[in-house]
Chains A and B, each alone.
Chain A
Amino acid sequence: EPEVTQTPSHQVTQMGQEVILRCVPISNHLYFYWYRQILGQKVEFLVSFYNNEISEKSEIFDDQFSVERPDGSNFTLKIRSTKLEDSAMYFCASSGDRDTFNYEQYFGPGTRLTVT
């Protein structure tokens, strides 16, 4: 069964450093998302991406964040200058099957980002 994959599973970085989180969505999908979950809190929407551009973004997704689909298979989230409060689990998701037109979102296993 196709699945969303994410790398790395755990990333430790120092405050102020740039990080790139990588995701490979399900190949037949058209919509791509990033969510985050701070430990003990709700899953929060960050950004959605469709047709090579951002469809919607939350207040969390400020100028420090960017997304890219550089090669038609990977989908990346970049945080330019990490802060302590960026420590969280980051989930990638994809949806919009070209063949079945189903729009349920499928999530990856997450990348745990720890900013020290």
Chain B
Amino acid sequence: DAKTTQPPSMDCAEGRAANLPCNHSTISGNEYVYWYRQIHSQGPQYIIHGLKNNETNEMASLIITEDRKSSTLILPHATLRDTAVYYCIVSRSNDYKLSFGAGTTVTVRA
């Protein structure tokens, strides 16, 4: 599996957009970029995923660079409830496992 690199932490002001970067320079052609988050000690929560096109859903937007070596998760209007650890994971679509790293601890401040 391709490895990902994320900053260990970042702060964001409530109501502002949060932009979370991820590097995955060794990603293969059939691997997707997945984003999950974990609020406190709850189960990881799926956010969004993409292959090469930008994606948007009700939670977030995912911007993948043209060479696919990096991506950015955008939370458009961060709220206090978005405080969590965010994981960027590269995986085949029907792979049998997710390999979690340390993620980025995002703290949304009022």
Contacts and interface: CB of A to CB of B under 8 A. Distances in A.
Interface of A: 4, 31, 33, 35, 37, 42-45, 48, 50, 55-56, 58, 89, 91, 93, 96, 103-110
Contact of A55 (B43, B49, B87, B96): B96
A93 to B, nearest CB: 8
Interface residues of B, number: 20
A91 B44 contact: yes
A13 B26 CA distance: 43
Given A42-B101, A45-B98, A103-B94, A91 B43 contact: yes
B44 A104 contact: no
User: Is the contact region of chain B dominated by helix, strand, or loop, or is it mixed?
Assistant: loop
B81 interface: no
Ranked nearest first, the 3 interchain pairs of A and B with the lowest CB-CB distance are A107-B43, A48-B96, A43-B100
A91 B44 CA distance: 9
Interface of B: 34, 38, 41-46, 49, 87, 93-102
User: Is the contact region of chain A dominated by helix, strand, or loop, or is it mixed?
Assistant: strand
Contacts of A35: 98, 100
Contact of B43 (A58, A104, A108): A108
Residue among B45, B96, B99 having the largest count of chain A Cβ atoms under 10 Å? B96
Residue among A43, A96, A108 having the largest count of chain B Cβ atoms under 10 Å? A43
B43 to A, nearest CB: 3
Nearest to B92: A103
Contacts of B44: 43, 91, 93, 105, 107
A96 B100 CA distance: 19
A110 B44 CA distance: 10
10 contacts: A31-B94, A33-B96, A43-B44, A43-B98, A45-B97, A45-B99, A48-B96, A56-B96, A105-B98, A110-B41
Contacts of A37: 41
